[in-house]
Amino acid sequence: MRNATRGLFVAAAAGALLISACSKNATTAETTGTQAQSNITATMATTQADPATADMAATVINRPGVQHLHFSYGPIKILPGQNNIDISGGTVPKPDVDGYIVGIRPNLVHADGTVPGVDVLHLHHGVWLNLGRQDLTDPSLPERIFATGEEKTVIMTPDGYGYPYTAKDGWLINYMIHNLLPTTDEVSLTYDLDFIPKTDPAFATTKAVLPVWMDVQNGETYPVFDALKGSGTNGIYTYPRDATNPYPGKQKNTWTLDRDGVLVGSGGHLHPGGIYDDLYLTRAGASAAPGSAAADSVIGDTAHLFRSEAKYWEPAGAVSWDVAMTVTGNDWKVKVHKGDELSMQATYDVSNASWYESMGIMNQWLATGDEGKDPFVDKVDAPGQITHGHLPENNNHGNTDKVIGPDPATLTAVPADGKVNILDFVYSPGDMENYQTVPSVKEGQTLTFTNSDDKTGNGLWHTITACKAPCNRSTGIAYPLANADIQFDSGELGTGGVPTANRVTWSTPADLPTGVYTYFCRIHPFMRGSFQVTP
C-alpha cells in the first residue's frame, strides 16, 4: 500500500452543487436505476483497512516529470454556526502553465497550518469547477473536475494518465463549510497537486482522462436524500433502489455514454452511515459470456463495475466521518461503448440511526482510444484500496461521561405555552445546558419551534432532531446521533434556499405518546433540548 506509484484514482467528492458495515464476502442483490430493475449478485471479498499502511503522504505521485504544487484558496472568514453553500470568486489559485494533473490532496487548514477538528469545522464539500469545459454527465454545469468531502479521499489518476489542464480556463470552487460552534473562525481550502507541465517529456507519453461525475441526485442544487432508521431491509437502505418514487421527473442516477472509451478509475463519496457506493453498466442486449469470470458480476444486461466501500476507523462503527473510502487500483480498466448506461446506488446502515441529507456520489476517470476489460467477459469488480488511514482531526468521538446537563428524565416538567424559541444557539425553554426544567405539553398537543437566529442571514440554521434519551453526553463526531426509537426531524430551519427547509418554524408531531423526548441540532450538535408529553 505504500507504493506511491500504484496510481489509484480517486474521487472524493461531495458535491452539492449548484450545481450540485463493510460486507465480508457479502452476497448482495442490487438493482440498477434502470426501469429494468435487473439484479446483480456481486461477490465482494473485502480487505481489512490498516491505518499503518495507509498514510496520506504515501499517495504523493512521484512519476517522472511530476511536480508537487501547493495551492490555497482563502482565508475564508467563518461566521458563528454557519452552514451555507458558497461559490468562490474567479481568482482560484491554479497552475500557471498547461499540463496534466495526476494527483490531488485536498484539505481544510488554519493559517498556522493546523487542521480543524471535524467536531469544530466540517468540510461538507468542495467541488472544483472548470469554466472552460462542460460537465460530461450534466452539460448544464461547468466541468466538475474534482471534489472533496470530510473523508478527504486522495484523488489520483492511474499510471500513464492525467487530467488535461489548460491554464487559460477559469476555475470556481463551490464549497460548504459547517461551523459546529458558535464562534468565528478562519480557514483556507488547500489542494496539493501532482502536476506534469506540458514542457516536460513525460507530458507526451501521458494520456488524457476526463471526469465522469455520477450522483444519485445528479444535477440537483443540493443532491441529497434521507436514509431513515428502520427503512430498507435488515438495517440496510440503498438509494434509489429502496426509495418510493425517487425520481418523479427524470432519472438522476444514470448517464448514457456519448462516446467509446475506457474507465480507468472510480471512487465514491458518502456521508456518515454510508457503507458503500456501487457502479453498474447496462448494455442493451448484452449478457455474461457463458462460463466467463464475469458471470458472478453480471445479471441480465447489467454488469457490476465497482464497489467503493467505506472503511470506518470510528470505534462506534458507521456513524461518523472517521472513515476512508476505497478506490480502484491501477489495473482497473473497463472498456465502455457509446450508448452504454452507467448507473449508481448508495447504501447506508440504517439499523441504529437515521441519516438526513445524505449523499451518494461516484467520480470516474474516462480515457478514450485505449484497451480495457470487457465487463461481460472479465470480472472487473475487485475490491478497492483506501488512500489514507485514521486522520487526527477525527479524534474527538464524543459520548463520554462528561455530560452537558442533567438527564431530562430527572427534571421537573413545566407546562409550556406551546412555543420554543431558538436564539443564540439556545432552545428556550428546554435547552439542556441552560434550563433546569423540561417544558411539557398534553398528549395530542404540539410544541412549535421557531429559529430566530435565521435573521442574521449568514446561514445560521438549526434542526430539532430526535436522539435517544438522555442524549446528554459529550459532543463529538459520533455523538449525538439521530437514533431515538420515535424519530422526528425538523429539517434545517431557515430561509436561505438550499440546504434549508425555507421555513423557520416546525411543530412536533401531534401523535407522540406520553414520555420524555430528547433532541439535538444536526448542524450544531452541542445544542440539545428536551420536552415531555404528559397524559
Residue 69's H or E segment, with its range, is strand 67-78
Beta carbon of residue 321, minimum distance to Cu ion (angstroms, whole number)? 18
Beta carbon of residue 485, minimum distance to Cu ion (angstroms, whole number)? 23
For residues 181 and 521, which CB has a smaller minimum distance to Cu ion in the complex? 521
Beta carbon of residue 442, minimum distance to Cu ion (angstroms, whole number)? 28
The DSSP secondary-structure symbol of 201 reads H
Tell me which residues touch Cu ion (CB under 5 A): 462, 521, 523-524
Q: 240 preceded by cis ω (within 30°)?
A: yes
For residues 397 and 462, which CB has a smaller minimum distance to Cu ion in the complex? 462
64: burial class by Cβ within 10 Å (0-12, 13-18, 19+)?
Answer: exposed
Using an 8 Å Cβ cutoff, are 119 and 475 in contact? yes
Q: What is the distance between the alpha carbons of residues 334 and 315, in angstroms, rounded to a whole number?
A: 36
For residues 265 and 525, which CB has a smaller minimum distance to Cu ion in the complex? 525
Beta carbon of residue 459, minimum distance to Cu ion (angstroms, whole number)? 11
Q: What does the block give as the cell for 215?
A: 450522483
- Nearest Cα residue to 499 out of 361, 356, 360: 356
Q: What is the distance between the alpha carbons of residues 422 and 464, in angstroms, rounded to a whole number?
A: 10
Using an 8 Å Cβ cutoff, are 103 and 61 in contact? yes
Beta carbon of residue 521, minimum distance to Cu ion (angstroms, whole number)? 3
For residues 364 and 451, which CB has a smaller minimum distance to Cu ion in the complex? 451
Q: What does the block give as the cell for 457?
A: 442571514
For residues 9 and 461, which CB has a smaller minimum distance to Cu ion in the complex? 461
> Among all chains, which residue has been given the C-alpha cell 438550499?
498
For residues 143 and 489, which CB has a smaller minimum distance to Cu ion in the complex? 489
Beta carbon of residue 186, minimum distance to Cu ion (angstroms, whole number)? 21
| φ, ψ for residue 519, nearest 5 deg | -150, 165
Beta carbon of residue 461, minimum distance to Cu ion (angstroms, whole number)? 7
Q: What is the distance between the alpha carbons of residues 515 and 494, in angstroms, rounded to a whole number?
A: 29
Q: What is the distance between the alpha carbons of residues 377 and 301, in angstroms, rounded to a whole number?
A: 12
For residues 100 and 461, which CB has a smaller minimum distance to Cu ion in the complex? 461
